[in-house]
Amino acid sequence: MTTRGTDNLRGYFRETSLPLMTNDALAPKMPPPGHKSHQNHLKVEPHPSRRLEVIYSFLDKSMSGIVSSWIDDHVPDTSLGVEDADPVTGERLTVPHPPIFNIPFHNERRPTDIMRLSHWIDNLPLMTVQRAMHLLYPATRPWAFFLCDDNDNDRKIFQYFMWSLPPSEEAMTQEKLAQIGRKSVVIAFQPPWILSERDIYEFSQCRSFPPFRVPGNAYPTNLESKERLWGKIWDACVLRNTPWFVLTSYNHWVFGAFSQGWTAAFVTPVYTFDAISPSIMEWLMFWVASAMRLKGWRPIPKVGAEPPYNPSELPSTVYDILSATEDPGSALALFAL
């Protein structure tokens, strides 16, 4: 007998993995297993305002236990008494798990480029997490996942969604925009033929970011592929004043956050699309809940004294940068490093 996902949301999130995605025959060729793609040519140059220095690893077992415990405490396993789909907004649980849950699979077109890939990410994990967040936390209903378009030179190989409030025509103070940014999440994505399994593992295992110029050198430090990707995500997060981020090719996922002063980052190991207990959707729920300071949330660890970061210029482009207004808290009894 099949049931609705909303009849046991905890069981649905825990046991349901994302469906397999097959690239279109016209998509660029995937690199051999275990090899880098050598196609991740992000146009990211060294810049003195990019102040990332060190990258810490979240321990796999500790983090997985924290996510699972949060799901146990905050996602019910009893019926919510509503349908999987909202007839007014069209939001719904979309990731199928036959024969247990009666959720039809919408067969997305096989990706040939980054835009078709975006539909797999948006219409499956992000739509499902958005529906669940709105059911469990009605105050979050104005929030949603939005595709951002910075219209930069890398948009064919790098784009990102944001969990945030929709763009508003109303004028907001910098303080209000900063508060929204600190509770948002950047979900960056690249096609799997660009961000291969080896590429995302190297990103996750990177432990330092090179200085703009090594003392004694006349020229800026050249960036490797994993460092250009870290620079790209740092730039996007600073632009949006959003320390919480996710990086995915759909096939593989990592979850991370930047310190309050933007000098340090924290990143999980790599998880596959079909991971369960915790599943990718459980990870996303927990990351969004932590960014929004919902009950049971985990602040970003502190890394010691960091000078405030409020530059007037980001790498390559001039923006109005919003200053951070909230203390993310102490690392002592929070995430395990």
Residue carrying structure tokens 């996602």: 75
On the question of pLDDT at 309 being above 90, the answer is no
More confident residue, 169 or 39: 39
Strands (E), the chain: 54-57, 144-148, 159-164, 185-189, 244-248, 252-258, 264-267, 271-272
107 pLDDT tier (thresholds 50, 70, 90)? confident
Give 202: exposed, middle or buried? Use CB within 10 Å, 0-12, 13-18, 19+. middle
The pLDDT assigned to 175 comes to: 83
On the question of pLDDT at 161 being above 90, the answer is yes
The C-alpha torsion from 37 through 258 and 181 to 318, rounded to 10°, is: -70
On the question of pLDDT at 163 being above 50, the answer is yes
Poorest-confidence range of 4-18, 19-33, 53-67, 71-85? Answer: 53-67
216 pLDDT tier (thresholds 50, 70, 90)? low
The pLDDT assigned to 173 comes to: 79
The pLDDT assigned to 218 comes to: 59
CA 54, CA 212: separation in Å to the nearest integer? 14
The pLDDT assigned to 59 comes to: 81
What tokens appear for 157 in the block? Answer: 């190989």
Per-range mean pLDDT, top range of 50-59, 98-107, 279-288 = 279-288
Is residue 215 within 8 A of residue 279, CB to CB? The reply is no
On the question of pLDDT at 76 being above 80, the answer is yes
CA 265, CA 156: separation in Å to the nearest integer? 26
Nearest alpha-carbon partner for 328 in 292, 283, 286:
292
What tokens appear for 85 in the block? Answer: 């789909």
CA 9, CA 15: separation in Å to the nearest integer? 10
Residue 288 three-state SS: helix
* pLDDT tens-place string over residues 164-197: 998 774 567 788 888 899 999 999 999 999 999 9
Report how far apart, in Å, the C-alpha atoms of 155 and of each of 202, 240, 242 are: 22, 17, 19
Cis peptide preceding 99, ω within 30 of 0: yes
Poorest-confidence range of 54-68, 250-264, 278-292? Answer: 54-68
Nearest alpha-carbon partner for 322 in 314, 331, 333, 332:
314
On the question of pLDDT at 314 being above 80, the answer is no
The pLDDT assigned to 206 comes to: 97
311 pLDDT tier (thresholds 50, 70, 90)? low
CA 12, CA 6: separation in Å to the nearest integer? 8
pTM reported for the whole predicted model: 0.90
